[in-house]
Structure 1
């Protein structure tokens, strides 16, 4: 059993994928080829925004967003304590200060009330994460940001395709960022990412930043990065994008099936009494793309071992909150994050992809229940 099955998808899209790749190889424009512009148009239309600027990775997308908003050394950026390190890493890289805020224990996303408490005169942006495929509390966070005149950067690396009140992730804030790492809901065959915005000035800045700050050939009006998406990866994403809406629907079916199977055994999606398994809680206004299907359990290592013995892979997203990462310890004095600390000791991600069969899901759930 595979944790994420990319091969089944490859065989389904192989004809259009190979046609796309062959066209790039025959044209020979491997950097900023026509496929990049085509992909940006289609991604912007999919998300429902005016501009999409593709990037070389999701991390570079976040970095470019901070640079476009002119975040400076010493500025504070409020973000979640429970995420992959890239979220805080880019803040630190430009000399700004990540201010860590704890999560809502039900959704694992940043707790809005704590954001308001963390704002200081040095705060210049808020960077929430839409973790595990579910949008963060958009309305509450955006209202806080508007009150304090702060831009919001959505880290939607795990939520591309997710929906909040009828609007898609990455189109809900000042700048939305996503990742096209192979394991993401929409992934390429290497690294890739994108920024989304409705602001023409920010779109121009992002376009320049990803190409060394270049305004026109060999004229650099700002400091930028080498953040361009390869044309071959754009071709891969164009082929995958045709299948993506169907995969989003299937992810929802599979995620719900997991929860239904667990609930048949007495598991719950909120912090009630439960039989050793806490299933994901999806807020009523959200449609998750289940980038991960993540449960909470007691005695996590024994469950992992029991599943490994049956050939069932698992992953931990994430074993440490960002406040405990050695590279970020200097920022951990911002405050305690008990919900993040607790989640890090208990979360476990199960196999999740659009082609997971109901039989495999039943096998996984039965194995988890037996091990708890």
Structure 2
């Protein structure tokens, strides 16, 4: 058995080497390293894939989340509702705008934001009147879109803006609607570990709103106006490099095939491990892109045994995420206590993710499953 990689980017490169090498060579030969034609081409193709009207690429996934909040004028005194069980960037962007994250518990089956708990948290904020409810950030965790039919209705009923955090969800679907097509705006990340990743940092924002699109393009380049040296608002410097756009294009073209492979791999894992652990639940009518394959153990001790056994057998595993956001030290001033969001807290103690990518072999999956079946 060869070395098992958690996400084998080398296998992907070998499969796409000809196209990736040619794309890189073309950028270097043309020497348009910033805002080259590949950036605009990528934006157009991402719109075609997701079904959105507009796409603004940027420097990373965190900026992709932050830019819509800046455009909407999210500010101190505002409340933005966000799941507690996700990566820190989802709430960090709220804090960067000076607003207050209000953490929402998770669904125990999909691990995504619980719409019922979201309703409760919105009602609590309205009753206390210490914050002004402004927006919701719903995260597509591990490849499966959040429950946008329900969450969109909640947002509309409460006059809240809705931002889809599709950093892990690209390729997921609800019916025929693709991830990154939900909400007033959506964001994704092209961090190398993502299902669609570049060779560095990168991100994109999507919307159907032409006014928001214009604001996002301005914010992306130092709040520029009609030309580079006219600045009409405070912005940031967050352009996607031409090299990264060029690398992403062949990866985007290969994405449907890789998505099929990851789903077959997920099914193979599930069939072998469903009687041993809680395997991923994909809701009826939903499609997961399975950027990650995440199991849930019964308790923390069982998870520790599983991870230790995998490590001894040469199998990498990662815990996404070991501490829910409401219990992170940075948010201690908000006053959350252990037990505040019980589902998120239990998930943090019991989940672990196995190797998954668009080129993982059946032999590798079977080996990993045999290791875990011996527990």
TM-score (norm 2): 0.94
Query: For residue 246 of structure 2, what is the aligned residue in structure 1?
Result: 235
2:256 is equivalent to residue 253 of structure 1: no
User: What's the offset of the Cα at 1:28?
Assistant: 1.1
User: What's the offset of the Cα at 1:331?
Assistant: 2.7
Question: Relative to structure 1, is the Cα distance of residues 332 and 109 closer, same or farther in structure 2, using a 3 angstrom cutoff?
Answer: farther
2:338 is equivalent to residue 328 of structure 1: no
Question: Relative to structure 1, is the Cα distance of residues 315 and 201 closer, same or farther in structure 2, using a 3 angstrom cutoff?
Answer: same
Q: 2:6 aligns with which of 3, 13, 17?
A: 3
Query: For residue 233 of structure 2, what is the aligned residue in structure 1?
Result: 222
On the 8 A contact 2:47/2:54 being kept in 1, the answer is: yes
Q: Is 294-303 or 4-13 further displaced after alignment? A: 294-303
Q: Distance in 2 between matches of 1:190 and 1:149?
A: 37
Q: 1:365 aligns with which of 353, 357, 369?
A: 369
Q: 1:126 aligns with which of 125, 131, 136?
A: 136
User: What's the offset of the Cα at 1:227?
Assistant: 1.0
2:158 is equivalent to residue 148 of structure 1: yes
Secondary structure at 1:220 match in 2 = coil
2:148 is equivalent to residue 138 of structure 1: yes
Query: For residue 109 of structure 1, what is the aligned residue in structure 2?
Result: 112
User: What's the offset of the Cα at 1:369?
Assistant: 2.1
Q: Distance in 1 between matches of 2:335 and 2:190?
A: 29
Q: Distance in 2 between matches of 1:71 and 1:369?
A: 49
Render the CA deviation track for 1:188-228: whole Å, top value 9, x for unaligned. Answer: 00000100110001111111111111122211111111111
Count of matched residue positions in the alignment of Structure 1 and Structure 2 = 360
Q: Is 326-335 or 188-197 further displaced after alignment? A: 326-335
User: What's the offset of the Cα at 1:332?
Assistant: 4.5
Query: For residue 351 of structure 1, what is the aligned residue in structure 2?
Result: 355
Q: Distance in 1 between matches of 2:46 and 2:332?
A: 37
2:296 is equivalent to residue 292 of structure 1: no
Query: For residue 129 of structure 2, what is the aligned residue in structure 1?
Result: none
- Mark the runs of 5 or more structure 1 residues left unpaired by the alignment: 268-274
Query: For residue 41 of structure 2, what is the aligned residue in structure 1?
Result: 38
Render the CA deviation track for 1:114-170: whole Å, top value 9, x for unaligned. Answer: 111222351100001110100011100000001112111011100101111111001
Q: Distance in 1 between matches of 2:335 and 2:270?
A: 35
Q: Is 196-205 or 214-223 further displaced after alignment? A: 214-223
2:217 is equivalent to residue 207 of structure 1: yes
RMSD, aligned CA: 1.2
Aligned positions of 1:13-32 closer than 5 A? 13-32=16-35
Secondary structure at 1:124 match in 2 = strand
Q: Distance in 2 between matches of 1:197 and 1:29?
A: 27
User: What's the offset of the Cα at 1:328?
Assistant: 2.0
Q: Distance in 2 between matches of 1:124 and 1:33?
A: 36
